[in-house]
């Protein structure tokens, strides 16, 4: 049975401070829940009788069967999809030695939860398994971001770090890439197979403090070069173009 206390707990998880305090977050929908359950510890699984019947078993500390109407009370979706689960936030650890082999992403104050989720999905598509968020990024565990990752959060490790310090630690051993209007055309530039690609805030781009650590300045050219076109690309789109160009070369 879905008690009042459980309803209160779950709706409280729409707020970051509660997610942080309890170390848990919510995900909804069959694909997302099944994807996350393969990597994350599920502490509470709430679903309809039909959902339990139709889907494979998930290991969870507690399971509650509910009616569709109950799901509506706790769902963040317009149309609840039969299942809602609470997962423990993973405790991801990184080491410099591990990063040195890889291409990773660093996000400098990405504000929009949907953009952040889309970027995680793009990272996953391009086999980038480590994403470093500055402390002022949108919260990766907000319901909107979790949903926008469409399950990619299961395969991509996301870390919240002091990005200035993080890049200062990395920059002596790894190329740090960033996109700028006065960078070098990415399609003509030599790219390494490892490194960290910094993507900037939606409105302001890469901040001055972070820019100091970027030692490889890239430009995504518009077409025809120099003509009056859109002023910018959405940050998710820009991330995809940069990742694709690194991976195309390998």
Q: Is 182 or 250 the residue whose CB approaches a second copy more closely?
A: 250
Q: Is the peptide bond before 224 cis (omega within 30 degrees of 0)?
A: yes
Backbone angles phi, psi at 170, to 5 degrees: -80, -25
Task: Please select the residue that binds a second copy; options are 60, 75, 152, 213, rule is CB under 8 A.
Answer: 152
155 binds a second copy (CB under 8 A): yes
- Dihedral sign from CA coordinates of 55, 57, 60, 61: positive
Task: Kindly state whether residue 247 participates in binding a second copy, applying the rule CB under 8 A.
Answer: yes
Q: Whole-number minimum distance, CB 187 to a second copy, in Å?
A: 5
Q: How far apart are CA 14 and CA 25, in angstroms?
A: 8
Q: How far is the CB of 229 from a second copy (least distance, A)?
A: 5
Instruction: Choose among 83, 86, 88: nearest CA to 28.
Output: 83
Phi-psi region of 122 (alpha: psi -120 to 50; beta: other; left: phi over 0): alpha
Distance CA 134, CA 165 (A): 10
Contact flag: residue 90 with a second copy (CB under 8 A): no
CB of 74 to a second copy, least distance (A): 25
Q: Which helix (H) or strand (E) holds 86?
A: strand 83-88
Annotate each residue in 213-232 with x if it binds a second copy (CB under 8 A) or - if it does not, as one string.
-------xxxxx--xxxxx-
The footprint of a second copy on residues 171-210 (CB under 8 A) is: 187
Q: Which of 150, 161, 164, 219 binds a second copy (CB under 8 A)?
A: 150
Task: Quote the least distance from Cβ 48 to a second copy, whole Å.
Answer: 22
Query: Cα(117)–Cα(137) distance, rounded to whole angstroms?
Result: 11
Q: Interface with a second copy by CB under 8 A: which residues?
A: 118, 121-122, 124-127, 150-152, 155, 187, 220-224, 227-231, 233-234, 236-237, 240-241, 244, 247-248, 250
């Amino acid at each position: 049975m879905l008690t009042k206390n459980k309803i209160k707990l779950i709706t409280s998880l729409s707020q970051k401070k509660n997610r942080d305090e309890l170390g848990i977050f919510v995900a909804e929908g069959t694909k997302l829940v099944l994807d996350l359950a393969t990597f994350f510890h599920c502490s509470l699984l709430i679903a309809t009788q039909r959902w339990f019947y139709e889907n494979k078993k998930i290991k969870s500390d507690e399971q509650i069967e509910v009616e569709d109407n109950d799901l509506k009370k706790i769902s963040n979706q317009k149309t609840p999809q039969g299942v809602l689960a609470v997962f423990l936030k993973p405790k991801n650890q990184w080491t410099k030695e591990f990063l040195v082999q890889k291409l990773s992403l660093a996000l400098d104050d990405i504000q929009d939860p949907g953009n952040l989720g889309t970027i995680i999905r793009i990272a996953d598509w391009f086999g980038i398994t480590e994403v470093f968020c500055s402390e002022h990024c949108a919260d990766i565990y907000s319901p909107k971001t979790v949903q926008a990752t469409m399950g990619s959060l299961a395969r991509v490790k996301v870390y919240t770090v002091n990005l200035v310090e993080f890049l200062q630690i990395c920059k002596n051993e790894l190329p740090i890439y960033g996109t700028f209007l006065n960078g070098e055309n990415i399609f003509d530039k030599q790219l390494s197979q490892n490194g960290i690609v910094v993507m900037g805030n939606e409105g302001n781009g890469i901040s001055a403090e972070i820019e100091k650590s970027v030692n490889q300045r890239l430009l995504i050219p518009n077409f025809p070069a120099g003509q009056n076109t859109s002023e910018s690309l959405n940050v998710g789109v820009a991330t995809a173009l940069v990742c694709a160009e690194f991976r195309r070369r390998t």
